[in-house]
Structure formats: structure tokens, C-alpha cells
Structure 1
Amino acid sequence: MSFTFMENLPTPEELKERVPVSANLKKIKAARDDEIRRIFTGESDKFLLIIGPCSADSEDSVLEYTERLAKIQDKVADRLLLIPRIYTNKPRTTGMGYKGIMHQPDPEGKPDLEAGLIAVRNIHIHSMEQTGLTAADEMLYPANWSYVDDILSYVAIGARSVENQQHRLTASGIEIPVGMKNPTSGDMSVMINSCIAAQHGHTFIFRSSECKTDGNRLAHCVLRGATNKHGESVPNYHFEDLELLLRLYNETTLANPAVIVDTNHSNSGKKYDQQPRITREVLNSRKYDPRVRELVKGLMIESYLEPGCQPIGTDKHVYGKSITDPCLGWDETERLIYEVAALC
């Protein structure tokens, strides 16, 4: 038998009863959601930074990171809105390797999906309790949305998932901004089509039920660079790329045209230390053309407590250092946030 069904997982309703969100946190999330929505609709001219580790591998270090971020948020609140990246699902190109705390609450341990789902809710809720910041996560598995729909303020659809019908249809029923990344090929029309699908309502099967969605008018594009047939990175954050995306948006009837620029991945060629330079170029493009300024709502930046990355299982594990893609360290992150605030 190809599938071995080991045990039934708790339903989303059961898990939410075991790991609940308090009434106070619900108010915090509602206020944050409204502020983020206003940025995407153009009612607010604040700039978004979706910023944090490549993957949330340890609750202790992630909470230390988000606590530091919250202290900066208070100082830049008039210009920036900071959304911590607490990415609990990690897509893998080959399907092998660490897939995030949802799969492995202990990165060096065996998969444990029930413990992983509990860990996902705990890390998001504990961060909200300690910082007042609601976070972003990646929707690797559409059916899992129901486990986290009460705790997230931003959802990303990855480059390997954006062409998938179930991801697009699920995004159409989400009530917070959903960023649709360009595919690894770089084809912008695929990304635009995913936004069209997500902004419209659909009827489809979701978690074994027939469901109907109204469409998500906050679905938008995310430019993360591409990979050519030789495996080389092809950036798409330059002014000409932003102009092209604006033209493609204008050829549609999409609501709230918007883009978030990912400063790492194929835009940096995974050279994490290039993220500040890329950030400055995008901000210069916004300054040069008011139309681009209106289009580019924010940036995705990968950073953690320590710069770079490390393999899982090393004898000299460094606290707060990424075990997946390399990230900016905290000192440079702090300087960069203040620089972005000054330039916006």
C-alpha cells in the first residue's frame, strides 16, 4: 500500500480549543489587519517590511528576534509597519530536508505533525502576546489554512506553489493580504493570473467539503527573482521590471495593484549581504516615479539574530543563526530598518 495512514490529526476546531487566542489578541490582530489592509488599498502611505528568518526553527530565538523588532516598530511607526516573518513551513525543491517546525518541532528529530501543529500555533501566539505584532507565514499546504486563520496577518504563496489551483482557490477565501510570488521561471503572466484567480470567488472542494469563496481583493504580486535554464539567478527588482509589472496590472481589472519585492532568493542570488543594496535600489525607483511608489507597497527581507546560515546537527550550533537560507544579522537589520524609514 502506497499510503500508510498513521493517526488522525486534530481538526482545526479542536486544535484552536487546545491552543486558543485570547480576546485581547483578537483585538490586536483586528487592528493590525485593518492597518495592513489600508496600506494595500492606498488609504495609508506607510511602507511594509515583511522581515525575519528564512524559517522559524526555534521558538526561543524567534521570540527574541520579534521582541527586538517590536522595540524598533515603536520608533518607526509613523512611516513603517513591520510584519515578522514566522515561517513555519519550508518548501523544498527536491522534497528533501528540513520542512519547518510544522513537520519537525525539533529540527534534529523525527517528523511529528500533531506536535508540529501545536508548535505553529504556540510560536505565533506567544510572539503576539509578547510583542503585539501579528506575523506572516507561508501557505505551503492549503488545507492547513484553517489551523492558522485566526493568528496570521499576511500569507505568502511560494514560487513553486503559485501555479497550483488549490493554492489559488484557497487564497480567494482568505481575508488578509496574500502575496503571490512569481514562479521560478520568472513568468510574470503566471503571477498575474494567480492574482486574478485569487481575487475572484470560486466553488471548490476544501477539507472534504464543498465551499464557496467571495474573492480576496488584497491578493497581490511578489517579485522574488527567477532562475534561467542554466540555473543562474535572474533578478526582477530593477526599475524596468517594476514598470513592466505596472503595465501588466493596468491591462487587467485587478483591484488594488500592488507588489512586494523580495530582496533575497533569486533577486540576490541567495547572497544575503546584498539585501541592503537591493533595498536601496527599490526605494530609489519609488522615489524616481510616483507610479512605482504607489505600486511598491513593501519589501521582504530575510534576517535573524546572527548573519549567514549553518547546517542542522552541527556540533557548534549558533543560537539565532538560520538553518536554511542565509540571513542578515541583527546589527545590519537594525541599521537597514532605520535607513528605510528615513528614505520612505
Structure 2
Amino acid sequence: MSFSYLKQLPSPSEIKEQYPLSAKLTALKAERDKMISDVITGKDNRFLVIIGPCSADNEDSVCDYVSRLTAVAEKVKDQLIIIPRIYTNKPRTTGEGYKGIASQPDPEKKPDMLAGLIAMRKMHIRAIEESGLTCADEMLYPENWGYVEDLLSYVAIGARSVEDQQHRLTVSGFDVASGMKNPTSGDFTVMLNSVYAAQHPHHFVYRGYEVETTGNPLTHVVLRGAVSKHGNCVQNYHYEDIMRLIERYDQMELMNPAAIIDSNHSNSNKQYAEQVRIVKEVMHNRILSPEIRNMVKGVMIESYIEPGSQKVGEHIYGKSITDPCLGWEASEKLIYDMAEMNA
């Protein structure tokens, strides 16, 4: 047989029972979910800043980073809502390399899915406990949603997942803001069709059950740049790109038009330091155009304690082992600059 069945994993309810979220933190999440929802629906003029490591590879350094955001978030709370990135699953273009803590709790050891599910949940809970901030994660594997559904305030669907039927249908059952990235081709139609699908009810099979969903009106787009047929990066955060997106939104029956700009990936050609310039251009365009201000609700920034990246096994505390990230000092300054520009 092509499959070797190693062991049956505990259900989400079993894992949640072992590692529960307290009533106090459950109330905190509900409060933050409402704040973020109000930004997506246009009831709140604050700006979302989804910021953190490319991949959450180490609990201590990730929670250290997230806790550093607490004081900053308090200072900018009238202008910005900080949503830490704790991305526990890492998509790999070729299938090779570190796939995230949910699959591989120790990047230098073999995958362990049970330990990974526990590590994923424990890290998210610890981050909320220590920082008072609920976080964002990428839903690379739809069947993992149940293990973290009570913890996350924002979910991203990646460029390689956005065309997948199961991802679209699963998001239709989420009750938090969910961003659909444009595919690597950059096709706006694919991205907007994904938003449409996720905003509407569905009937399908999920984790061995026949289920129905109500649709998720908080589903929106994330612009992350594209790759041309010649392999070159193509940006899609400029003024003209957002105006075209506004036009396309107007042509479709979509609720709560909203866009988040991913300042890294193909938008920066993975030149992590360019994120500062890109974010400031986005903020400047929001100042110039009321239409863009109404459409662009936030940015994604890849940031960690130390700038750049390292190879697995180098053990530099707080430095990415996947894509290069902005360092803490540059990130902190950028957050304060954004708050000033959104005033």
C-alpha cells in the first residue's frame, strides 16, 4: 500500500479538553474578534497590523516577540489593532523543508503530528496569556481548524491553497476575519471567486461528518504579489492595483469589501527590508484616496526579534529559519509610523 497508517490522532475536542482556554481569555478573544470584525465591516476606522515571524518555529522566542508587542499595541490602540502572526504551518513550494511546528515541533527532528498539534495549541494559549493579544495563523490544513478555532482572531488562506475547494468550504464555517490571498499567478478572479465561495453557505464532508455552514461575511482579499510566467515577481500593492481591485469588487455581489496588503513575499521580491517602504506607500495611498482608505483595512508584515533568516541548526535566538523577517527595532518604529499616518 502507498499509505502507512502510523497512529490515530486525538480529536480536536480531546486536545482542547487537555489544553483548555480559560473563561477570561475566551472573553478576551470575543472582544478582539468584535474589534477586528468592526474594521472589516467599516464600523471602526482603525488599521489592522498582522505582524510576526514567517514561521513560528520556537515557543519561547515567539512568545517573547508577541509579548513585546503588548506595550506597543497599547500605545497605538486608538489608531491600530495589532494581531500577532503565529503561523504554525509552513507551505513548501516543492514539498521540501521545514513544514512548521504543527508538523515538526523540533525543526531538527522527524515530524511528529501529535506532538505538533499539542505544541501548536500550547504556543497559542501561552501567547494570549502572556501578551493579552489573540493571534493570526495560516490554515494550511483545513482539518486542523478544530484544534485552534477557539484561539484565533484571524485566519489566512495562502496563495497555493486559495483555489482549493476544501479550503473555500471550510472558511465558510469560520466566525472570524479570514483573508484569501491572490494565487501565485496574481489572478484577481480566482481570489474573488474564493471570497464569494467562502461568504456563502455550503453542505459538504468535513473530518468524517456531513456538515452545513452559514457562510463567513468577514472573508476578504489579501494581496501578496505574483510571479509572472517568466518567474519574475510582480507587485500588486500600488495605487493602480487597488483601484482595479475596487472596480472588480463592485462587479461582484460580495459583502464587506476589504483588502489586506502583504508587504513581503512577491510584493517585496522577498527583500524583507523593503517591507518598510511598501507599508509606507500603502499608508500614503490611503491618505491620498478615500476609496483606497475604505478598501485597504490592514497590512501583513513578516517580523521577528532578529532581522534576516538563518539555516536550521544555527540556533540564533529569535531569527527566522524560513523567509527573512524585519528585526524588532525596525518593526517597532514602523508600527509607530503607521499609527501617525493613520491619525
Q: Give your verdict on TM over 0.5.
A: yes
Alignment of 1:201-220 (within 5 A): 201-220=201-220
Alignment of 1:7-18 (within 5 A): 7-18=7-18
Shift of 1:130: 0.6
Alignment of 1:200-239 (within 5 A): 200-239=200-239
Does residue 1:261 correspond to 2:261, yes or no?
yes
Shift of 1:211: 0.3
Deviations 1:66-95 (A, max 9, x none): 111011001000100000000000000011
Deviations 1:104-133 (A, max 9, x none): 111111101000000000000000001110
Q: Distance in 2 between matches of 1:103 and 1:144?
A: 11
Q: Distance in 1 between matches of 2:230 and 2:191?
A: 22
Give the corresponding residue for 2:307.
307
Q: Distance in 2 between matches of 1:256 and 1:298?
A: 14
Percent of paired sites with the same residue: 60
Deviations 1:207-257 (A, max 9, x none): 111100010000000000000111110000000000000000000111100
Q: Distance in 2 between matches of 1:19 and 1:285?
A: 44
The answer for unaligned runs of 5 or more in structure 1 is none
Deviating beyond 3 angstroms after TM superposition, the runs of 4 or more aligned structure 1 residues are none
Q: Distance in 2 between matches of 1:52 and 1:270?
A: 15
Q: Distance in 2 between matches of 1:265 and 1:120?
A: 24
Query: What is the one-letter code of the residue matched to 2:67?
Result: E
Give the corresponding residue for 1:287.
287
Give the corresponding residue for 1:323.
321
Q: Distance in 2 between matches of 1:289 and 1:180?
A: 24
Deviations 1:168-194 (A, max 9, x none): 000000000110000000000000000
Give the corresponding residue for 1:83.
83
Does residue 1:339 correspond to 2:343, yes or no?
no
Deviations 1:132-179 (A, max 9, x none): 100000000111111110000000000000000000000000000110
Shift of 1:279: 0.5
Give the corresponding residue for 2:249.
249
SS in 1 for 2:273: helix
Deviations 1:240-284 (A, max 9, x none): 000000000000111100000000000000000000100111111
Q: Distance in 2 between matches of 1:326 and 1:251?
A: 37
Give the corresponding residue for 1:175.
175
Q: Distance in 2 between matches of 1:310 and 1:229?
A: 29
Q: Distance in 1 between matches of 2:201 and 2:304?
A: 37
Query: What is the one-letter code of the residue matched to 2:325?
Result: C
Shift of 1:54: 0.1
Query: What is the one-letter code of the residue matched to 1:343?
Result: M
Q: Distance in 2 between matches of 1:178 and 1:63?
A: 23
Alignment of 1:99-178 (within 5 A): 99-178=99-178
Q: Distance in 1 between matches of 2:205 and 2:71?
A: 43
SS in 2 for 1:169: helix
Shift of 1:291: 0.7
Give the corresponding residue for 2:96.
96
Deviations 1:278-309 (A, max 9, x none): 01111111111101100000000000000000
Q: TM-score, normalised by structure 1?
A: 0.99
Would you say how many aligned residue pairs link Structure 1 and Structure 2? 342
Q: Distance in 1 between matches of 2:98 and 2:316?
A: 17
Deviations 1:35-60 (A, max 9, x none): 11000011100000000000000000
SS in 2 for 1:50: strand
Q: Distance in 2 between matches of 1:139 and 1:48?
A: 19
Shift of 1:343: 0.2
Give the corresponding residue for 2:19.
19
SS in 2 for 1:185: coil
SS in 1 for 2:204: strand
Q: Distance in 2 between matches of 1:129 and 1:28?
A: 10
Q: Distance in 1 between matches of 2:18 and 2:194?
A: 35
Query: What is the one-letter code of the residue matched to 1:208?
Result: G
Q: Distance in 2 between matches of 1:47 and 1:207?
A: 35
Q: TM-score, normalised by structure 2?
A: 0.99
Q: Distance in 2 between matches of 1:200 and 1:304?
A: 36
Q: Distance in 1 between matches of 2:318 and 2:194?
A: 35
SS in 2 for 1:309: coil
Shift of 1:9: 0.3
Give the corresponding residue for 2:55.
55
Q: Distance in 2 between matches of 1:42 and 1:186?
A: 26
Shift of 1:313: 1.7
Query: What is the one-letter code of the residue matched to 1:292?
Result: I
